[in-house]
Amino acid sequence: MGPTIRASRTRRARDAAAQNKLGNRYHDGRGVTKDYTEALRWLHKSADQDDTYAETALGYMYFYGEGVPQDDAQALGWYRKAAEQGYPLAQQALGWIYFNGCGVAKDYTQAAAWYEKAADHGDAVSQATLGYMYAYALGVERDRIGSLRWYRVAAAQGEPSAMRYLKSFRPAPRTRYIELGLAVPSFIMGILCLSALEFWARSS
């Protein structure tokens, strides 16, 4: 790639970022009078240059009918465009849409797939939601170990629902394993090999 092309792309990226920033200022009323029409105008300019944040913001505005008639199809299209470029908030939004069946047929398999993509990018809400979906076999096979691991990853980032879940969690006592004829996890014997969460999952 030659220097002229690189410079052109850099300018476009800066322009898109500036347009997105201005669109968000109009949306939130920060430093300017709140104006959804102006917000849409600038966000569209930015999104037309593949700015994923602007695409996601447009998805939000169409989904909630801010400055435009509410339009599930437009919202889905903008969210999908950003999600397919790897933007985790858009992937989370698609997961939520398919999980709840908003403007589309409810589809837990699609929801789990998009939540997984967002979770792999570090989105804590998606990680906690996957914890729930693996626990109750929603769009995925039931997997308590996987469920608890996602809850733990989310909780490590301070996600409130995951932290509440783990705080209320109580593993089975050692005597219960003996009654069931199961091997007592090695950390109970003094070697920290499995977490309490993991050995509870394996015993269920």
**pLDDT tens, residue by residue, 143-199:** 989 999 999 999 999 999 999 999 887 664 544 434 434 333 333 333 223 333 333
Mean pLDDT score, 27-51:
94
- For residue 103, what are the contacts with CB-CB under 8 A and spacing of at least 6? 72, 73, 75, 76, 97
Candidates 1.10.3330.10, 3.40.605.10, 1.25.40.10, 3.90.960.10; correct CATH number of 1-85?
1.25.40.10
Domains 1-85 and 87-169 share a fold: yes
Q: Average pLDDT for residues 45-57, to the nearest whole number?
A: 94
Which of 4-18, 40-54, 83-97 bottoms out in mean pLDDT, i.e. has the lowest? 4-18
Say how far apart CA 123 and CA 114 lie, in whole Å: 11
Domain residue ranges in the chain: 1-85, 87-169, 170-204
Quick one: pLDDT at residue 204? 38
pLDDT of residue 48: 93
What pLDDT does residue 147 have?
Answer: 93
Domain at 87-169, CATH class: mainly alpha
pLDDT surpassing 70 at residue 50:
yes
Instruction: Tell me the mean pLDDT in the region 96-117.
Output: 96
The more confident residue out of 101 and 9 is: 101
